[in-house]
Every structure is written in C-alpha cells, then in structure tokens.
A and B are shown apart, each in its own frame.
Chain A
Amino acid sequence: MPRRYYNVLLPLLSGALAFAVWQVVCLLLDEDHRFLLPAPLAVLAALRDEWPVLSHAALNTAQGALLGFALAVVISFTLALALASARWVRASFYPYLMLLQMTPVILFVPMLVIWVGPGLPSVSLITFLICFFPLVVNTTQGLVSADRLLVELFRMYRATRWQEMWRLRVPAALPYFFTGLRIAATLAPIGAVVGDYSAGSSAGDGGGLGFRAVIYGSTAKYPALFATAAVTCALGFVLVAAVLALSQLTLGRWHDSYAQKDN
C-alpha cells in the first residue's frame, strides 16, 4: 500500500472508530448521567452554536499566545547567546535556569495579574514564562555543543569570537533551536489558555478561550467546554505546523533528519 494511504487513511479510520465508540458509549449512559460525558455529535453542535463567541475568544487567545511565544523566542535567544559566549556566565546562571524550568508557573498567576494587569498582558506573560525555558535550554545546548574540530578550525583561521558565534555556533545550534521552538509552540496555546483561565478578563473584549472555559464549566455546558478544548488544540496544531514548515525551510537542504529522502 502506498505511503500516503498509511499516513492519511489509517489515522482517519482510527479517528472515526474512536469517534463512533465514544458516541455509542454516550448513548448507552442513562438519561441522568448523560451530561457527564458529552457525546461527539453534541460537541460538534456546541462548536457550531458557540462559534461566534468561540472564534472571537480564539482570536484573543491566539494574540496572547503569539505575543508570549514571540517574546520568549527573542529573549531566550539573546540569553542563550550570552550563556554560550562565556563559561562564567553559564556556570553562574545555567543551574538556576534548569531549576526554574521546574517551577509551576500557575502558582504565581494571582501575583502576576497584579503586576501587569489582567487580560492580554498577564496572558502573554504566562505564555512567555512557559515557552521560555525549553527554548533557552535547547538553544544554549546547541550553541555550546558545536563540533570541537570545527571550533578548532575556526580558531586556526583566527576567527573572531563574533565570527565563531555567528558563522559556526548559531547555525550549528539551529536544529536544537527548532526542537525548543516546537516544544514551545505546543505549550504556547496551553499557556495562553491556562493564563486566561485564571487571569483573563471579560472587560472590553470578552476574554479568551480560558475565560470561556470558566463560564462553560461553571454553567455545566460540557459540550461547549469540549468544543473550547478542540479549538485550543487547533491553535496549537497551526502553530506547530508553522514551526515545522519553517524548520523544513531552514534545515531541509543540509540537515539529515530534515532532508527529503532520496535527494
């Protein structure tokens, strides 16, 4: 069977099967408990009914997610350059970065809201905090693990530190950077929704997907809650796909694991 059938048809089949089983299970539940697990068809209906509200909320969330993500990329890259350019900087700060990575950011949300205000500022700040660590850790790792012989070669050619960084370390770090970017892209919409869940605001623009989830959850509109989750997944999917396309564009010609087969 040709490859594309495998990669398209089989996931579609397994998805449809899961969908059907889930629908049947819901139909088998008795009347009183049916609301506990919304059936897929009910979720689709909610998605349709709530679309005007959800799409608006999705735009707000996407805005927060993208802002936090972009901020995380710029700041983590700058910090990684600093960490990679001097051993003492790395020794002083890298252990704490690893430690901070473990911090459950969510615990500080109430405080962050007071710092920067509710809505977009705190949503993007939380997204930033969640995306930042995988990016800085991966990029730094990439910058310092350039091939030792290549580094020696550059030293023999009397390359300046600037040349060594930009012509050798940065390109060598790109595959690592993109790994971090992919993780961050997965986390960004989740971060934005979690942030919005606890720090969103209906003031002005009606809040984001997290805020919708608060409302649907407290009013037991579970099909709409599932629809909200589906929209969040879709946001993540778009962002990850964009990152993958970008990495393919950047690394496709030279990096083995990104290169097309047979070329």
Chain B
Amino acid sequence: MHPASAIVELRGVAKNFGGGPPVLADISLTARRGEFTSFIGPSGCGKSTLLRLIAGLTDATAGEVRVDGRTPAQAAAELAFVFQEPTLLPWLNVAHNVEIPDKLRGIPAAARAAHRAAALALVGLAGRESAYPRQLSGGQKMRVSLARALTLAPKILLLDEPFGALDEMSRERLQEELLAIRAQQGWTAFFVTHSVAEAVFLSDRVFVISAQPGRLRAEIAVPLASPRTAETRLSRDYQDLVVEVTRRLRAVKTFAA
C-alpha cells in the first residue's frame, strides 16, 4: 500500500468509557483513498464506537486517529455520518432536511439548492422535496439521510448500519445505489453492518471484530470486479467470500462465548 494514498489511519487505538472495561483494544488500520471498508462483529463489540472515533464524536483513550493527516476534529469538513436511524428533523420537509448541513455552514441559498438537487437526484428522490419525513417510507427516509450526508461532498463517509431497519429488497436496491453513487463521487467509506452478504457486496475489505474488548480479528479482501450489480450476488466468487466471512465471524462469536 502506498503511504501517500492513505486517508484514514488508526494506530494502536483503544477506548474505554469512564473507568469501564476496554471497549476497543489495539486497533490499527489504514484506509486508502476511495476504499470501502466494512466492520462486522457481534452486537456490543464496539463497531459504532469505532466509527464515532473516526468521526471525532468521541476521543480515543489511547493511540492515534488521523484523518487526511489531521485529527478528526480538524478534518470535520471532510466527514459525513449516516446513522442507523434516518435522524431527520421531523419539522422540516425533505428539501430543508437535505440542506441543513449547508445551512449550518452558512452556504448561500443558490449553492444550497444546487447541492440539494444533485444529492436528491443521486438517491432517486427528486420531486419529493416538499414531503415531510412522516410521509415517507423507511427506505425513502434513509435515502434522504444519505442525500443529506452527500450534500457536503465528503471525502469520507461513515455509515453505521444504515440499512439495518429495512426489508431485504429495499436493502439490496440501496446497496446497489450506494455503490453507483460512490462510483461518481469517489469517497472513502467505513460501513458497519450485521449482514455478511451486505459487507461482502459493498466492500473492498471486511474487518471482523471480536467482542470484549473489540479487536480486529480478521481482514478479508474482497477482490470482486466493479461495477457490482444484482448479478454479482449470484457469482461463485461472491458466494465463496460470504462463506469465508461467515466462518471468520462464527469463529469470533465462539471465541467470545
């Protein structure tokens, strides 16, 4: 790996809350510009905490997190976060929800509208600007949440089980859309999921995390060709990788028990 292309680096990162037991221990990884990295592991192993460390929402107890050569706080403008829930502002319509990050940063109205239109087109929600969140389906809300993150043209996108609450069909469609958008925008992604299939389909690299404390137990490269489509899911290579990750994950779970 060429060091110049590294965009996110974690070195010996550990985390505990207050005087509590270690939640994450000895996490070291480097992500290249444009790489798609997934984290998978048992519930409570610290996946969300790991994303929050990269986002600068919480600080590491030990070790170092570097984003684009700076601390996460300094690199805030390059980062966008998509939570498991859509976390939309229920009193704003779709257009205003998507514009909120720009608005908070004082970007002029014309530029805001342009960013919003582009982002909504990417997630396939052009025309729904005036709907309120309560009038949208779960999948549509998630799309709005994604569009909101994309308005900032982030260099790094952090996604914490964004499709976890959706049905299988919406989920697969959104996965394909996410990869299509990435092909256009080229951000670096960190993705947390409980679904092995989802991790394999989306990623260049999957990390399996063990619990108590969370450690990177396995790293599986996913050399599937792009663009990945519904066909990809039927391919032998894909299915072999799903089996491989499932095995590694099972090993971690037995290990924890």
| Interface, chain A (partner B; CB < 8 A) | 147, 149-150, 152-159, 163, 167-168, 171-172, 174, 251, 253-256, 259, 263
Interface of B is mostly: mixed
Q: Which 7 A-B pairs have the closest CB atoms?
A: A254-B91, A149-B87, A171-B91, A159-B104, A157-B104, A254-B90, A157-B101
Of A153, A155, A159, A263, which is within 8 A of B83 by CB? A153
Taken together as a complex, chains A and B put the C-alpha atoms of A152 and B101 apart, in Å, by 12
Of A155, A158, A168, A263, which is within 8 A of B89 by CB? A168
Taken together as a complex, chains A and B put the C-alpha atoms of A254 and B91 apart, in Å, by 5
For A152, the chain B residues whose CB sits under 8 A away are: 57, 81
Count of chain B residues with Cβ under 8 Å from any Cβ of A? Answer: 24
- Tell me the residues in window 92-109 of chain B with beta carbons closer than 8 Å to chain A beta carbons: 92, 100-101, 103-105
Q: Given A149-B83, A254-B132, A256-B134, does the pair A174, B104 have CB atoms closer than 8 Å? A: no
A254 touches B133 (CB 8 A): yes
Highest count of chain B CB atoms <10 Å: which of A155, A158, A174, A254: A254
Taken together as a complex, chains A and B put the C-alpha atoms of A152 and B58 apart, in Å, by 10
For A157, the chain B residues whose CB sits under 8 A away are: 100-101, 104-105
Residue of A nearest to B73 (CB): A158
Taken together as a complex, chains A and B put the C-alpha atoms of A223 and B90 apart, in Å, by 51
Residue of B nearest to A148 (CB): B87
B87 touches A150 (CB 8 A): yes
Q: List 19 A-B contacts (CB under 8 A).
A: A147-B87, A149-B85, A149-B87, A153-B81, A155-B57, A156-B56, A156-B80, A157-B100, A157-B101, A159-B104, A163-B104, A171-B89, A172-B91, A174-B91, A253-B132, A254-B90, A254-B91, A254-B132, A254-B134
For A153, the chain B residues whose CB sits under 8 A away are: 81, 83, 87
B192 at the binding interface (Cβ < 8 Å):
no
For B90, the chain A residues whose CB sits under 8 A away are: 254-255
For A159, the chain B residues whose CB sits under 8 A away are: 104
For B89, the chain A residues whose CB sits under 8 A away are: 150, 168, 171
B55 touches A156 (CB 8 A): yes
Of B57, B83, B104, which is within 8 A of A158 by CB? B104
For B132, the chain A residues whose CB sits under 8 A away are: 253-254
Chain B min CB distance to A215 (Å): 49
For A254, the chain B residues whose CB sits under 8 A away are: 90-92, 132-134
Chain A min CB distance to B10 (Å): 19
B79 at the binding interface (Cβ < 8 Å):
yes
For A256, the chain B residues whose CB sits under 8 A away are: 134
B118 at the binding interface (Cβ < 8 Å):
no
Taken together as a complex, chains A and B put the C-alpha atoms of A167 and B105 apart, in Å, by 13
B105 touches A158 (CB 8 A): yes
For B101, the chain A residues whose CB sits under 8 A away are: 157
For A149, the chain B residues whose CB sits under 8 A away are: 83, 85, 87
